[in-house]
């Protein structure tokens, strides 16, 4: 296996890899600039930059056909996908190093992502995609309108929710529109 197989997905195309790495580096650069502008310490800037690299890159990686085939293969269950959501403890990492990003806010973001993931994975397969968009839309309202985060981290919760709920939890569309190319084989 190559490093791309681990970072993106087994069999990732050059295009998928390029998009994912481009998003990861651009997101990390933007987060770095925001963190520097906010006057954070070197440790806080480094953690925010690392988290941004993972969030922005992961949102694209999880949306690739290669990753969808990998994470939604026959041997993977909803429990595996929920476990993937559960291991995303970055809100707590940010609370640990970032002034103004409270532990309560971290817990609320984490719980929102996990509860939404449970709702999505328990939806009937034919309603999973619209359910994912419904709960993600309402979750975005909650995390942006009801929680207070430092301005330099206003991007974090929305990107986390997109990465986990829309990109990761949804499989390749089994019913593409007529005339669309068929999904690539796993």
List, as one string, the DSSP characters of 90-134: HHHHHHHHSTT--HHHHHHHHHHHHHHHHHHHTS-GGGHHHHHHH
**Cα 30 to Cα 28: distance, rounded to the nearest angstrom:** 5
Query: Is the pLDDT score of 185 beyond 50?
Result: no
Domain segments of the chain as ranges: 7-168
pTM for the whole structure: 0.89
CB 90 within 8 A of CB 55: yes
CB 172 within 8 A of CB 69: yes
Among 70, 56, 81, which residue's Cα sits nearest to residue 11?
Answer: 70
The set of residues, in sequence order, having a beta carbon less than 8 Å from that of 48 and lying 6+ positions away, is 31, 32, 34, 35, 40, 94, 97, 98, 152, 153
Query: Is the pLDDT score of 178 beyond 80?
Result: no
Query: Is the pLDDT score of 182 beyond 90?
Result: no
The set of residues, in sequence order, having a beta carbon less than 8 Å from that of 122 and lying 6+ positions away, is 78
Mutual angle of helices 14-37 and 42-61, in 10-degree steps: 150
**Cα 119 to Cα 144: distance, rounded to the nearest angstrom:** 20
Among 136, 133, 134, 132, which residue's Cα sits nearest to residue 157?
Answer: 136
- Residue 33's pLDDT is 98
pLDDT digits (tens, 9 = 90+) for 128-169: 999 999 999 999 999 999 999 999 999 999 999 999 999 989
């Amino acid at each position: 296996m190559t490093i791309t197989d681990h970072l993106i997905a087994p069999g990732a195309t050059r295009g998928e890899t390029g998009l994912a790495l481009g998003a990861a580096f651009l997101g990390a650069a933007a987060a770095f600039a925001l963190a520097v502008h906010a006057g954070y310490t070197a440790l806080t800037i480094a953690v925010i930059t690392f988290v941004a690299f993972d969030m922005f890159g992961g949102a694209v990686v999880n949306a690739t056909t290669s990753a969808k085939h990998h994470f939604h293969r026959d041997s993977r269950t909803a429990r595996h996908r929920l476990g993937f959501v559960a291991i995303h403890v970055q809100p707590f990492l940010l609370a640990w190093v970032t002034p103004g990003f409270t532990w309560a806010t971290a817990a609320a973001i984490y719980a929102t992502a996990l509860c939404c993931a449970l709702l999505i994975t328990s939806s009937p397969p034919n309603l999973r995609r619209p359910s994912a968009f419904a709960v993600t839309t309402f979750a975005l309202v909650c995390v942006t309108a009801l929680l207070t985060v430092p301005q330099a981290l206003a991007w974090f919760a929305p990107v986390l929710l997109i990465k986990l709920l829309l990109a990761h939890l949804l499989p390749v569309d089994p019913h593409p529109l007529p005339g669309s190319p068929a999904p690539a084989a796993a």
